[in-house]
Amino acid sequence: MTMASATSPLHVLLAAMAVVAALVAAPASSADLPSGFADIASKIHNPWSAFKNLTGCHFGEQQQGVAKLKDYLSHFGYLQESSGFTDIFDADLEEAIKVYQRNFGLDITGTMDARTVSQMMAPRCGVADVINGTTTMAGAAAAHAHGRNLYSYFPGSPSWPRSKKSLTYAITDTRATSIDRATLTGVFARAFARWSAATTLNFTEVSSARDADITIGFYAGDHGDGEAFDGPLGTLAHAFSPTDGRFHLDAAEAWVAGGDVSRASSDVAVDLESVAVHEIGHLLGLGHSSEPGAIMYPTITSRTRKVDLASDDVVGIQSLYGGNPNFKGVTTTPATSSRDMDSGASAISRPWSAVVAAVAAAAAGLVVAL
């Protein structure tokens, strides 16, 4: 056989097809995910990084780390709290995972498949998705099938009184952050303005917590509200439903309060304004949304900026407070990231597209050659 015949289009096609077959046959792992998941699942350590070791875990198995998974799902409302979780993958855990998968628009397998693992490892808001046994998220597939929006409210739909159009806020505790007061004032003013633009509400910063409807502070670890922070990434912040008014941020995060967060030198950099816009939604009464493009989607990746309200956010907030007659509608600016990746875990790319293209090209070459 000559060198020319060894590299004929037929051989190229067969080789490319063999590569595709090998890739498709290979089991999915947290390291071989579509582009929307890969970064979350591997390189950046966070409190839930060990979940990647549970990829493929399913009902009936006993594996180290399952108890921590149960703690995670309990924290976000999917399982009842317990002081004695075990490493056995039981029926309650399987059902909790199914509810989680339904909320995030994932395949409902009840197993720790790669996409579920990756979604669980994403940095996120500390507010629960399920409160007192009631999910605050509408399952994405079911809601879209019925033409519904995906926004949600806290149980009982608490809100600020309709007669109270002006809310005040104070930045009360900055001892745990190095961000200067003037910068913080600008960030939070912009974040509140995004909600006031769409509603009948307006917001004013005041200097004293005694005069404030809403208080904002940076805290580390256990800070006395029963919702301890967990260090870099993991839970980024949390806020309480109306009319509590508390908004807490994890001081351990590498907060970026100015400039382009996608160009930040730190892989764990988090955009402060993006998180602030999300938490203000909670302060006003919105729960989490299953819509990946919505501000109220629970997760956001590091080095990502996502500050523009989506239609889902606007419909939800206007249903509570009415609409601003001067509101010009939502923008179409997508979240920006150094990895060209949004927090939305249901926007799946196809990792084999380049290989399929190569096969197509080889096939075309074979037809021409023949």
Question: Which of the residues are catalytic?
Answer: 279
Question: In this structure, what DSSP letter does residue 212 have?
Answer: -
Q: Are 313 and 278 in contact (CB under 8 A)?
A: no
77 among annotated binding-site residues: no
45 among annotated binding-site residues: no
282 among annotated binding-site residues: yes
Strands 166-173 and 134-135, sheet pairing: unpaired
Helix axes 272-284, 311-321, angle to 10 degrees: 30
273 among annotated binding-site residues: no
285 among annotated binding-site residues: no
Neighbours of 51 (CB within 10 A): 23
Q: Are 109 and 59 in contact (CB under 8 A)?
A: no
> Would you call 95 exposed, middle or buried from its count of C-beta atoms within 10 A (0-12, 13-18, 19+)?
middle
Question: In this structure, what DSSP letter does residue 172 have?
Answer: E
248 among annotated binding-site residues: yes
Q: What are phi and psi of 133, to 5 degrees?
A: 80, 0
278 among annotated binding-site residues: yes
Q: In the chain, what is the greatest distance between 2 CA atoms, to the nearest angstrom?
A: 88
213 among annotated binding-site residues: yes
223 among annotated binding-site residues: yes
Binding residues for Zn(2+): 125, 223, 225, 238, 248, 278, 282, 288, 296
Annotation: binding site: 125, 213, 223, 225, 230-231, 238, 248, 250, 253, 278, 282, 288, 296
Binding-site residue positions for Ca(2+): 213, 230-231, 250, 253
